[in-house]
Amino acid sequence: MKINSLIQLLVILEECSDPDAVVAELEQVLHLSGFEYYGLLRHLQQSPAQQELRAAPLAGRWPEQWLQIYAAKKYVRIDPMVRYLTHAQRPFRWRESMAAFNGDAHRRRMEQMMVDAFGHGLEDGYLFPIHGRNGILGSLSLGGRPIDLSPVEIALLEAVARKTFWRLLELTGEAEALETLLPSETPLTRREMEILHYLADGMTSMEISKMLKISNHTVDWYMNGLQNKLKAKNRQQAVALAFRHGLIS
């Protein structure tokens, strides 16, 4: 791998003025580095009731049909990389995550997933967590044929992952909001969640009051409480923040 290319990329990304240019520069360097496939994800904040790690793709290129197979076989539920990522503090190689689940009840399915991945050209790879003040925010996964990276190369790719992630969010106006999370000490009540879902469906206070058989003023009281908890300026922003935090989908 050409270390100079990675260093230059860090400078170029800062100068890119649109998301397409950021992705194009990243893909060019990854290709020169020998990584044929990659995925840059933004991880969504989850409510306690959600069991699976949810993520939104920012950019990526994977083998044909692999994503369909991954979804159809529900591999996200047992994916060792995804499970290892939830507590990883540093970049890791895919094989490291497999070693961490030797005695796991889902070990056989994990092995089958890796066999399927290998059959689609994903023989090995690395995963780079992207952390913020409030925990893990995203990740960059690199895969293809086996490539041995030096500690310096891993450190530079980790920097590239962070820079690309934040540059894309800056250019789409999402960077600041991503670091503003719902305080854990003020969870939403069941009634607040009901009203939030109806609000997201576009219902008015009057329509919601009829649906829940409560007064219009009571609905407004709940909505004011929602806005305060979510630190939203209005109802529309409250709904947008709720989607961003993974409270509703």
SS3 216: helix
* Residue 244 pLDDT > 90: no
Which of 128, 157, 171 shows the shortest CA–CA distance to 21?
A: 171
Output the six-digit token pair for 227: 């806005």
| 126-152 CB burial, b ≥16 within 10 A, e <16 | bbbbbeeeeebbbbbbbbbeebebeee
| 212-237: average pLDDT | 84
pLDDT of 8 > 60? The answer is yes
List, in sequence order, the alpha helices (H) in 16-150.
Answer: 19-32, 66-72, 80-85, 94-99, 107-119
pLDDT digit string, tens, across residues 96-124: 999 989 889 999 999 999 999 999 999 99
pLDDT-based confidence at residue 177 (cuts at 50, 70, 90): low
* pLDDT given at position 234: 85
pTM: 0.71
Most confident of 58-62, 131-135, 238-242: 58-62
Q: What is each CA distance from 215 to 155, 198, 200, 203, in whole angstroms?
A: 58, 15, 19, 15
Average pLDDT score over the chain: 87
Q: What percent of the chain has pLDDT over 90?
A: 55
Better pLDDT: 58 or 218: 58
DSSP 8-state assignment for residue 110? H
- Residue 209 reports pLDDT greater than 50: yes
CB 82 within 8 A of CB 76: yes
Please report, as a single letter, which amino acid is at residue 187: P
Residue 197 has pLDDT above 70, yes or no: yes
Higher pLDDT, 180 or 196: 196
Which own/partner pairs from 67-72 qualify as long-range (CB within 8 Å, at least 24 positions apart)? 69/116, 69/120, 70/113
Banded pLDDT at 53 (limits 50, 70, 90):
low
Determine contact, residues 25/13, Cβ cutoff 8 Å.
yes
- List residues bridging with 59 in a β-sheet: 40
User: pLDDT band at residue 50, thresholds of 50, 70 and 90?
Assistant: very low
Interatomic CA distance for residues 180 and 123, integer angstroms = 37
Cα gap 17→25, rounded to integer Å: 12
